[in-house]
Structure 1
Amino acid sequence: MAAWLLTCNPNGVFDLPRFRDEGNDLTSWTISQHKREVAAGDQFVLWMSGTNAGIVAHGHFTGQAAHGRPDTTYWLTDPGERDYVPLEVDQWLDRRIPKSQLAADPRMSGATILTMPGGRNPHRLNRAQWEAIHEALEAASGEDPGWDLNPGDEIRRVKLHAHYGGSTQNGISPSGTTNNILIFTAASSGHQHGYFDTWNEDGTFHYTGEGQTGDQRMVRGNKAILEHRETGKRLRLFDGARGTVRYLGEWTLDPEQPYSEDQAPATGGGDLRKVICFHLVPVRATISAPEVEIGQDYVAPDESVTPTPATQSAPDPDLVGRNLSTHRRLQNELAKQAQNRGFTALSPDVSDPDFDLAWRDTEGRLTVCEVKSLTPANEARQLRVGLGQVLDYQDQLSDRAPDVSAVLWVEREPSERRWITLCRRVGVTLAWPCQEDSVFPQ
């Protein structure tokens, strides 16, 4: 039994991506040499040429080569009559095996796909070359043997990059020395830059791309995530941005909808801008929300924000302009009150809803809090939004905590007392400065 490598030029010869996207099964491939040597049972790999060259599939031949004229729908130029070998694809790889990985294996020395990448189909593989490719195929369908972290493991970020490569500064960190893209999420610091990463009920994760000012574009780290399948890179998600980070497993882009575009305020609460939201799905052994402890140690947001005109279409009116500065001051003062009274103040973790603040009492009971600034012009809207938010947070956390209390903390007493009654009716404590005893019972 022989082993072969078939090449595809998706730009100038055959549009394989469109062929696959439209649900077609690959049953044959054109060849121009070794026509009498290919036979049923021979193994093959399919190589995609171009900028991100590498192996995209493997399978076996089902017969000998035959002469014929193909359907020209997906050919970029009329191929005329050709010789074809019938085949069956055993597996399309979710993430291709990159040329660089194979070229680094000494067993691939002399492989014609590396020495003559424009050579004719098929390329013959010797025993050593097939062994190298076969091992790479097995590794592609499992965990990388060079990866030592398990979901839930914690590691200092400096040590992480020393071992796996990538920049220590960026939230998206493609490695130039390993086949990994390290991505970092931290709700407590991300919100000030307009990053609202979310963990969804179905176990998927929506991750905001990089770019703190202006519209985000599909360049640098964002482009690296989008093309991770083509480049053979694995997406590694970490909770935390600095210091010690926690590994949350390997992820991949949703093949049906890899990303969407949304709007969010710029760093410091500026005007709305376009942000890229990547739709990630877990690959293996990823920590799910119910297995992750609620919250992390409270991180105080910066109160020194340059005011900007409030934008009516902002996702949360409390996160722009004057409101943002007041919001952060109220939040930090309340967190300090909680800590002074012996409670543990918490910021949201990667698996949590985007609450402003939470705390646990000495017996471990959890309270989740939404903070709202109030002005005469926005009072009713802020109270409506805040009440809805804190009820949503309470509901999302109810599966992970047996008894979650909810507090809506506002800048001052509402002008209409009915809000106090309404909140009490749905189990929410509405309070403001000088009413700390009502939210921190002894």
Structure 2
Amino acid sequence: MTDGPKFELGRYYTRAQLMATWGGSKQNGIAPSAKTKNVLVYTDPKIGKKHGYFDRLNLMDDGPLIEYTGAGQDKDHTLEKGSDNYALLHHREQGRALRLFQAAGRIEGKAEKLHKYLGEYAVDERKPWFDRVVSIEGVQRKTVVFRLRPVGQTADPAIDFVTLPPGMVYEQVHVASSLTAAKETSCRLVDLERNSGAPIIRKASAKISVQRREGELVDRFRAFIQSRGQRANRYELTIKGLNSVFLTDLFDTSANVLYEAKGRADRNSIRLAIGQLFDYQRHIDPKPAALAILLPEAPHDDLKSLLESVGIELVYEENGGFVGWPVDVA
């Protein structure tokens, strides 16, 4: 048994891909691998609630921690030896790492689900689990809820996975400055999740709501292109004499296309995106083959003409897909 190839933080995998490389099972939520030193743990909050699985990322108490419901759909949960719940609870003693995945839609036109890799977790040593009684269609049963702590860097879960006080929102803060001014202008490709700070909660505002929509749009687009064999990264830019660090939204490394995402399809958002793309392009070497704006919906025809006039491609979300993709880089 080996550790297997490295998992890619934030990447979207199918269950078949995960099984072929790291092992586990085809359907179980907790999938100990006989092939590698891993326990693959799957969560799908939207589906799980129907069956008493109330998984969440808890930021209200002593988080961040994941509250993950154990296995067993039709009866009380147990921790007996040989069960999937036992394998999760005793993963340290068995020399296994817990790998957490969250359901993230399906491949377009197919029934096959995608699963976003959120990172490595471990059972909380102080309080590894607690009991929760759930009632489904009038029938009560006891469930085991594991408390999982992050091990190292993790990717953001979908927003509906996060429990927050009323009137608050979840926001991931990215490193945006350095203590000293950059000595040289530079650019480098980094992972989309790289440079993420600790998640924080803030009072809801229109600005943060738009930021959330942009981030979720990038997430969906990333899953879309990765399911089609494309690789997604972002650029980290530093400018000589400045202490700011600039992060682009998404770079399709396979097609050499730089994207700027906006949470709205209005004129001001598109004007801002045009300026950002031209500014970023000046400092990226080699230059992208194409620049593109990513929107949650189609903009007004006049704005489409504006983008065409400056040579910037348009990609927007519609009916579960993305109109304008793939971008013409000829």
Instruction: Output the TM-score relative to the length of structure 1.
Output: 0.35
Higher fraction of helix: 1
Q: With a CA cutoff of 8 Å and minimum separation of 6, indicate the structure with the bigger relative contact order.
A: 2
Higher fraction of strand: 2
Instruction: Output the TM-score relative to the length of structure 2.
Output: 0.46
Bigger radius of gyration among the two: 1
